[in-house]
Structure 1
Amino acid sequence: MNVTVFVVLAPLAMWMFPVYVPPNSTATIYASLPPGLCNATGVIHVSQLVAIACVNKALAPTTVSGYVAVEYPKPPPPPSVPAPEAPILAVAAGAAAAAGLSHVASNRRELLAAPLAPIVARIKRATGEDPARREILRVVEQLGAATLAQIAKATGKGWGAVQWHVYVLEREGRLRSIRIGPMTYYFTNPKKAAEVILASVDPDALPLEDREKLDFLAASAS
């Protein structure tokens, strides 16, 4: 802060300017006041409350002019606290749980596959050459088209295990899928899948978009 002083002191009068200093801190005072009349001039370093005073001991009015500047040191910025690094297993578990909940709520397999893909790649590369996946392929080929629930029932495996194996098989191109209404069907033979799905739904009740998808599937090469 900076204070410009211009006062007229009456005889035997005093002018005071207090300088406050925060605890555990210092202040630098730059004063330009009449020496002899005032108790501060020049540069002064203080660490506690001080009062700059000018006293008129004369029997006539006295003019006091000059300035007082007070400078406080700027406190250093607080050190930044780095965010703790979450273990890879905790990140994987959180992503898998969030993906699983999203999948249950919306029945969209894409929400499960997207967050799991980079995690799985870091742990190991899963392949379709697995007895459980070969069994799933056999069931899907036999049924023509099947939902996750139908695959789980036919193989006797848990929903989560089937969901994971189907994701691996589809990623490697050994299974394909199509969403009709609220259901996602998995298949290997497009023509056979179209026949099975059309036989299990009411074609007249299907939206135009779903009917077009089935028509395109039926016209595809196996």
Structure 2
Amino acid sequence: MDVNITVFLVLAPLAAWMYPVYVPPNSTAYIHADLPPALCNVTGTLQIDKPTTVACVNTALQPAPLRGSLSVEYPTPPPQPPPPAPEAPIVAVAAGAAAAAGLSHLASNRRELLAAPVVAIAARVKRAVAEDPARREILNVVEKMGAATLSQIAKATGRGWGAVQWHLYVLEREGRVRSVRIGPFTYYYVNPRAAAEVILSSVDPETLSPEDREKLDLMASSL
């Protein structure tokens, strides 16, 4: 069973959005999260063996938009590609005035949230069939575009976000594509030099952080 959501939230000051993930006894679940790391305690792909809460906390004194996607996979029976995510995003506005005290406590314990028992699952993922037509199509799109976000790939292939996210996850674990986070976006690519050129042409270099600039410089200098 797979659960897929597209998230668009406007978090009020000192507000939080939380999504509890249930794990059956003696089982595991995979969380695939494309959420802002500055706000949320889970990004990337994680494996859990006990109930966990995906939490995004706005500790700033002004509203903060939260965009991204989240899917939860229960790999019993063996994992299958999830169905396409709903086209319409989930829209919510969280008011935090009444819950400021409790949310402040939650924000102060973000390190405990980040320390939730999660283990990398690369060793547990079976290598997918190389000639899978959906993954071959996605790989061709990524190679042709040089660097592309999840939404750009979904639009180019006409596939749902959830399905594209799953196939990208498998391709990345196989080492056939790579990803890099620049600003609020995660880009997927095959050739790092070509990807650096595409990303630099699509952003204002003056807005790049030193960390992001260093990532792109390393990619541009790759052989």
Partner of 2:181: 179
Report the residue type matching 1:113 in the other structure. T
Q: Assess, with a 3 A threshold, how the Cα gap between structure 1 residues 211 and 115 changes in structure 2: closer, same or farther.
A: same
Which structure is higher in helix share? 1
Partner of 2:34: 103
Q: Distance in 1 between matches of 2:193 and 2:131?
A: 25
Please point out which of 89, 92, 115 is paired with 2:47: 115
Report the residue type matching 2:24 in the other structure. A
Alpha-carbon distance, 1:205 to partner: 1.2
Partner of 2:169: 167
Partner of 1:23: none
Partner of 1:189: 191
Between Structure 1 and Structure 2, whose CA radius of gyration is higher?
1
Q: Distance in 1 between matches of 2:206 and 2:189?
A: 23
Alpha-carbon distance, 1:195 to partner: 0.2
Alpha-carbon distance, 1:202 to partner: 0.5
Q: Distance in 2 between matches of 1:121 and 1:185?
A: 30
Alpha-carbon distance, 1:105 to partner: 6.3
Alpha-carbon distance, 1:104 to partner: 4.9
Q: Distance in 2 between matches of 1:123 and 1:142?
A: 32
Q: Distance in 2 between matches of 1:131 and 1:154?
A: 15
Partner of 1:66: none
Report sequence identity in percent: 57
Q: Assess, with a 3 A threshold, how the Cα gap between structure 1 residues 215 and 105 changes in structure 2: closer, same or farther.
A: closer
Check if 1:220 corresponds to 2:222: yes
Partner of 2:24: 86
Alpha-carbon distance, 1:218 to partner: 0.2
Q: Distance in 1 between matches of 2:46 and 2:138?
A: 22
Per-residue deviation, residues 87-115 of structure 1 (Å, max 9, x unmatched): 77xx56xx45xx35x5356599x745222
Q: Distance in 2 between matches of 1:193 and 1:113?
A: 22
Q: Distance in 2 between matches of 1:121 and 1:196?
A: 40
Q: Assess, with a 3 A threshold, how the Cα gap between structure 1 residues 176 and 120 changes in structure 2: closer, same or farther.
A: farther
Alpha-carbon distance, 1:204 to partner: 1.3
5 Å-filtered alignment, 1:1-222, equals: 86=24, 95=29, 99=31, 102-104=33-35, 111-115=43-47, 120=75, 123=78, 125-127=126-128, 128-221=130-223
Q: Distance in 2 between matches of 1:215 and 1:112?
A: 23
Q: Distance in 1 between matches of 2:144 and 2:178?
A: 15
Alpha-carbon distance, 1:141 to partner: 0.4
What CA RMSD, in Å, does the superposition of the two structures yield over aligned residues? 3.2
Q: Secondary structure at the match of 2:199?
A: helix
Q: Which has the higher contact order (CA 8 A, sep 6+)?
A: 2
Report the residue type matching 1:199 in the other structure. S
Report the residue type matching 1:86 in the other structure. P
Alpha-carbon distance, 1:123 to partner: 1.8
Which structure is higher in strand share? 2
Q: Secondary structure at the match of 2:147?
A: coil
Q: Assess, with a 3 A threshold, how the Cα gap between structure 1 residues 174 and 202 changes in structure 2: closer, same or farther.
A: same
